[in-house]
Amino acid sequence: MNRLSLIAAAVLITAAAVNAADDEWTRFRGPSGTGISAATTIPVKWTDADYNWKVELPGTGHSSPVVCGNRVYVTSADDETARRTVLCLSTADGHTLWRRDYESKTYPQNNANSYATATPACDAAGVVVTWSTPAEVVLVALDPDGKEVWRRGLGPFTAVHGSGTSPVVYGDKVILANDQEDLNRMPAPRNAKAGEQRAVGKSFLVALDRKTGEIRWQTDRRTGLAAYSTPCVYQAGGGRPELIFTSTAHGITAIDPDTGKVNWEMADLFKDRCSASPVCAPGLVIAGYGYGTNGTQYVAVRPGSKEKGVEPSLAYKIEKPVPLVPTPLVKDGRLFFWFDNGTVACLKAETGEQIWRDRVPDEAFYGSPVCVNDRLYCISRTGDVIVLAAGDKFELLAKVPLGEKSFATPAVSGGVMYLRTLSHLFSLGGKKP
C-alpha cells in the first residue's frame, strides 16, 4: 500500500471503531447522555409476537438497562427487604448469564422511588452499579462473568426522597455525582430517639479508577438539596470534553474529567431540586429544576472557558410549565420536552422558541425519551410505549402497551431496543436470524 492508502485505511478503521462504540448503550441515555441512536431496525408499531424475547426480572425497579457486546445488564430490588440484584442477560435470547444478590435494609424514600433506581454503567471490563442506604453510598464493579472486582463505600447518604443518580464510565474512570440533602431540611425519622445523632453525608463529585476502585479525584460540594441528575458530556468543536453536572447548590458545573477541577460554573440558577439530567446543544448546556411534582424553570447557558478567560452566560430561560423528572432530548436543532403530566413540546434549541406543544391523551411520564431514526420513543408510567415523529409538528405514530408500569428509559444497542417495566425486560427489533 502507498502512504495515502494506509492513511485512508487507518481512518476507516478508526471510524468503524468509533461507530461500534457509539452503537453500544453503556450508560443512562446512551452515548454521552444524548439519548440518540443511529439504529434503523426498530419498528414503529409492533405486537407481542414481534419481541425477540421477554423475561421476568427478580424483584422490581426503575433503573434502565445498559448494553455492552452480547451482555445486557439491569438491576432490581426486593421491595420488602431492599435486597439489590444485579442481573446479566444474553442479548441473543435473554437467558440469565449470571445474577448477584446483595442484602440491604429498607429505609424511607419517596413513594415514586425504588431501591433500584440508579442505572448501571458498563464497558468491556464489566459493569458498575451503585445504591445507597442512609448509612452508606456504595459503588460495586463486577467483571463480565459476575465476579466482584472492587467495592467502594463513600460514606453516609442523606436525602428525604432516597437516591437515584447513576454512575458513568468515562475512559479509565468511574464518575459519580453525590449531591446530598441538608439535614436541616429533613424531618426526623418517626422512630428516632431523643438526642439521637443522625449520620450526615457529604456532597462531592468523585472519580474512581475503573480497574481498582481507588479514588482518582474528589471535588467537594456545598450541600443543598439532593440531586437526581446524571452528568452528560459537552465538547465544543476542537475543545476538550467536559462533564456537566447540575445541583441546587451549584447550578451548572463543568468539570475536567481528568482532574476533577471546575472549568466553569454558573451557580444560583436553581431554587429547587434537579431531577432531570442536563443535555447539550451546539454552544449550549440546557438544564432545569422543579418542586413537588412539577418543573419550575429551564435555562440554556453558553459555556465558559477557563483557558480563554470566558465566563458562562445565560442564553435564555423557559418558564413553567416545564418537565421535572423526564430528561429532554436535543436533535437536529430541536429541543423536545416530555412533561410529567403527558404533555410534549418541541422548541428551537438555539432560542427556546416553541414550535409545537400537544398532549398524549391519558398518559404521564417519569421515563425519558430516546430518538431512533427520527422517531421519539418514551415509556409512560402506565407502561405504554409512545412513539412520536421527531419533527416540526406533533404526530403520534404509535402507542404500544407493555402490560405493566414503567419509570425506565429505553436502551438501544446493536439495532435492538430494550424496554424495561417494573419487573420485565423486553428485546425488540434488530435483524432476526
Average pLDDT in the chain: 91
Residue 293 has a pLDDT of 84
Mean pLDDT, to the nearest integer, of 212-234?
96
202 and 223 fall within a common domain: yes
Claim to verify: residue 167 and residue 245 sit in the same structural domain: yes
Q: Is residue 86 part of a domain?
A: yes
pLDDT in tens, 73-103: 999 999 999 999 999 999 999 999 999 999 9
**Who contacts 62 (Cβ-Cβ below 8 Å, separation ≥6)?**
113, 114, 116, 117, 164, 366, 407, 408, 422
State pLDDT tens for residues 269-311: 999 999 999 999 999 999 999 998 889 999 999 999 988 889 9
Q: What is the mean pLDDT of residues 109-138?
A: 94
Predicted pLDDT at 4? 36
Looking at the structure, tell me whether residues 387 and 254 fall in a common domain.
no
Comparing CA positions, the residue from 79, 108, 72, 63 lying closest to residue 93 is: 72
Q: Is residue 11 part of a domain?
A: no
| CB-CB contact of 72 with 418 (8 Å) | yes
Judge whether 428 lies within some domain: no
Between 151 and 11, where is the model more confident?
151
In this structure, are 292 and 354 located in the same domain? Answer: no
* Alpha-carbon 193 to chain mean position: 37
Q: Is residue 373 part of a domain?
A: yes
What pLDDT, on the 0 to 100 scale, is given for residue 6?
Answer: 32
Rounded to an integer, the average pLDDT of 43-64 is 97
Alpha-carbon distance of 433 to 428, in angstroms, equals: 14
Residue 6 lies in a domain: no
Alpha-carbon torsion (61, 63, 65, 66), positive or negative: negative
- Cβ burial of 5 (10 Å; 0-12, 13-18, 19+) is exposed
Residues 350 and 262 in one domain: no
State pTM to two decimals: 0.92
Identify the weakest region by mean pLDDT among 17-31, 60-74, 78-92, 227-241. Answer: 17-31
pLDDT of residue 120: 98
The domain spanning residue 380 has which CATH number?
Answer: 2.40.10.480
Residues 293, 378 share a domain: no
Same domain flag for 121 and 89: yes
- Mean pLDDT across 42-55: 97
Per-residue pLDDT tens digits for 139-156: 999 999 999 999 999 999
Q: Are residues 319 and 341 in the same domain?
A: no
Q: Please report whether residue 385 resides in a domain.
A: yes
> What pLDDT score was predicted for residue 201?
85
More confident call, 399 vs 201: 399
* Same-domain status, 312 and 339: no
On whether residue 313 sits in a domain, the answer given is yes
Return the H-helix or E-strand segment holding 22: helix 3-23
The answer to whether the CB of 319 falls within 8 A of the CB of 347 is no
CATH number at residue 246: 2.40.128.630
Q: Which amino acid is at 74?
A: V
- The domain of 351 spans 334-367+369-408
Closest to 358 in 3D by CA, of 334, 338, 387: 338
Do 188 and 214 have their domain in common?
A: yes
Tell me, yes or no, whether 172 and 147 share the same domain. yes
DSSP states of 278-289 as a string?
PEEETTEEEEEE
Which pLDDT does position 432 carry in this prediction? 58
Instruction: Report whether 271 contacts 248 (CB < 8 A).
Output: yes
Output 237 or 125, whichever has higher pLDDT.
125
| pLDDT tens digits for range 381-418 | 999 999 999 999 999 999 999 999 999 999 999 999 99
What pLDDT score does 397 carry? 98
pLDDT at residue 318 greater than cutoff 50 = yes
Residues 165-192: pLDDT tens digits?
999 999 999 999 999 998 766 555 555 4
Question: How does residue 198 score in pLDDT terms, banded at 50, 70 and 90?
Answer: low
Structurally, the chain folds into a number of domains equal to 2
CA distance 203 to 205: 7
Work out the average pLDDT over 6-27. 47
pLDDT for the residue numbered 5? 38
Q: 9 lies in a domain?
A: no
Strand arrangement, sheet containing 262-266: 232-234, 242-247, 251-255, 262-266
Per the CB < 8 A criterion, the answer to whether 139 and 129 are in contact is: yes
Domain match, 272 and 284 both? yes
Least confident range from 49-53, 92-96, 191-195, 253-257: namely: 191-195
Query: What is the model's pLDDT at position 188?
Result: 55
Q: What percent of the chain has pLDDT over 70?
A: 91
